[in-house]
Structure 1
Amino acid sequence: MNVDVPCPAVSILLVEDDEKTVSYIEKFFEKSHIRITSACHGAYGQELAESGSWDCIILDRRLPGIDGLTILTHLRAKNIQTPVLFLTTMDGIHDRVRGLRSGGDDYLVKPFALTELSARIESLLRRHKEPLNTTRLVFEDVEIDLLNREVWRAGSKLYIQPQELKLLEYFMRNPFALLSREMLLQAVWEIDFPIHTNLVETHISRLRERLGRHASPLIHTVKGQGYMLRNQ
C-alpha cells in the first residue's frame, strides 16, 4: 500500500503489547489515510474489536489477559467477519495453520518489514471488498476466468491442467501470504495429515512453466518455509 498516495480513510485496530512495535507501525502509517487505534491488553483489544467498526485488525498471538487466538475465536463466534492479520513471533507451521483455521485471514511472523505488512493489509482490504460471487481473479497481468476455468497472462491464454489451476487460484486468493507446503496440500489436495510426496513441488514447477519462465516471476520460494505470490 503506497502510503504517500491519497486514498479513502482506512481504520485499523492494532492489538499488540510491545510498545516499540506499536510505535514502529504507527509512525509508518502516520502520513497516510490510515487510522491506527491500538490496544496493549487482550481484554481491551477484544472489547474494541467487538464494539468498533474496523476495516482490518492486526492481532498478536501472545497478549496479556486474553491471547489473540481466543479473541479471534470470540469474534468469529459472534459472526464478526472483519479481516484479521496475525502478527506474531509464533512461527511454527502448526501455529500458522491453527491461526488460519481459527478464522485468521493472514499470518505474518516477526521480525517483519513494514512494506510487507502494508502490502498484506492492502491485499486483505481488496479481498474483503470483492463480491462473493466474483467470476474472475486478477493479480498483476494474470487473470483467472472462474466460470470458464481459463487462465490468461498479458492477454495470452494459458493451457493449465485442472489441479494446477486450483493451485493458482489458491495463490491468487491469498496474494502476499506465506503458504507452507502443508497448507497447500490441505487446501488444494485436501490432505491434512503428514505425507511424503512431491505433489506441491511438482505442480509449482509446472505452474511456473505455464506462467512463463522468462516472464516476471510471480510464485516465489521462501526457503524452508513455503511459497508466496508476489510481484517482486
Structure 2
Amino acid sequence: MRILIAEDEMHLAEALSQILKKQHYSADVVHDGQAAYDYALSGIYDLLLLDIMMPKMDGIAVLKKLRSEGVPTPVILLTAKGEISDKVAGLDHGADDYIAKPFSTEELLARIRAALRRKGEVLPEEGLTYGDIELNTSQLKVTVKGKELKLNLKECELLELLLTRKQAVTSKEQIIEKLWGFDSDVEYNNVEVYISFLRKKLTFLQSSVRITTIRGVGYVMEVTDACSKS
C-alpha cells in the first residue's frame, strides 16, 4: 500500500516516512500543499497524511479541492494540538480522521489501519488469500499448502497488488505507479523481472495460481485446475 505524506517539517516528514516503511508501506513525501494536491490526483495512493499548516496551499484547501473533484482517497489530517476549529473544518470537508501533534507511533498506525479498513482494503496484518496462496505482507512471506517462501519487499508489494485486484487485469503502468511512484523512471523490464521472480516462486511452491500475461494489456491472476509451469 502506498501512502502520501504531506508535511512541511522536514524532520517529521522523514520520521513518518521511516515509520511507514518499517511497517512495509510505500511512502512518498512532499512539503507543500500544491505538491500534495498534484500527487494525490495521480490516484495511486491508498491514503493521504495531510498536515494542515503547509505553504502554497493548506491541508484543508487541498482536501476541499480533492473532494470537489471526486477524489475519494482516505485522508488523515495532522493538526496542532487544541485546534478544534481546524479539526471540525477538516471533518466537514471530507477528512476521514485527524491526529493531533505530538502523537505516538502506535496511535498513528492504528488510525491508518482504521482509515484503510473503512475504505475496504485488506490490511497487511490480516493477510491476503487467493486460490491456494496465503500472503503475509508483515512478514514478507508467501505460503502454499503449508510450504512457505520469503519474498523481498518489491516482490511482496507486487504480489499484494495482484492479489488485491485478483481477476482484474493489472497493466505495467499501474504496477510502476503503485510500486515506484507516478514520476518514476522505472522501465517495463523492471516489472517483467519481478513478475518472473514471482512466477518462479509460485512454481516452486507448486501453487495452482499463476500470473498470466494478457499481451499488450498486462497481467492477471488465475487459478488452474492443476499445477502448471509459467
Q: Could you tell me the TM-score, scaled by structure 1's length?
A: 0.50
| Structure 1 residue ranges (4+ consecutive) displaced by more than 6 angstroms after TM superposition | none
Match of 1:74 among 58, 62, 65: 65
Whether contact under 8 Å (2:79, 2:87) holds in the other structure is no
C-alpha displacement at 1:30, in angstroms? Answer: 2.4
Whether contact under 8 Å (2:81, 2:102) holds in the other structure is no
Question: Residues of 2 paired with 1:52 and 1:90: CA distance?
Answer: 30
What count of residue pairs does the alignment treat as equivalent? 121
**Any idea what the Cα deviations from partners look like across 1:31-51, whole Å, max 9, x if unmatched?**
332011010011111100112
Who is 2:118 aligned against? 127
C-alpha displacement at 1:92, in angstroms? Answer: 2.5
Of 105-114 and 121-130, more deviation after overlay is shown by 121-130
Is 1:24–2:21 an aligned residue pair? no
Who is 2:162 aligned against? none
Who is 1:15 aligned against? 6
C-alpha displacement at 1:93, in angstroms? Answer: 2.2
Question: Residues of 2 paired with 1:15 and 1:125: CA distance?
Answer: 18
Match of 2:52 among 51, 58, 61: 61
Give 3-state SS (helix, strand or coil) of 2:63's partner. Answer: helix
**Which structure 1 residue ranges, 5 or more long, are not aligned?**
1-9, 131-232
Is 1:103–2:94 an aligned residue pair? yes
Question: Residues of 2 paired with 1:24 and 1:15: CA distance?
Answer: 12
Question: Residues of 2 paired with 1:20 and 1:98: CA distance?
Answer: 27
Question: Residues of 1 paired with 2:46 and 2:87: CA distance?
Answer: 22
**Any idea what the Cα deviations from partners look like across 1:58-81, whole Å, max 9, x if unmatched?**
000010101111100010011101
Match of 1:48 among 19, 39, 42: 39
Give 3-state SS (helix, strand or coil) of 2:35's partner. Answer: helix
Question: Residues of 1 paired with 2:20 and 2:85: CA distance?
Answer: 31
1:18 aligned partner, one-letter code: E
Give 3-state SS (helix, strand or coil) of 1:30's partner. Answer: helix
Root-mean-square deviation over aligned CA pairs: 1.3
Q: Could you tell me the TM-score, scaled by structure 2's length?
A: 0.51
Question: Residues of 2 paired with 1:117 and 1:98: CA distance?
Answer: 20
**Any idea what the Cα deviations from partners look like across 1:5-42, whole Å, max 9, x if unmatched?**
xxxxx100011110111121122222332011010011
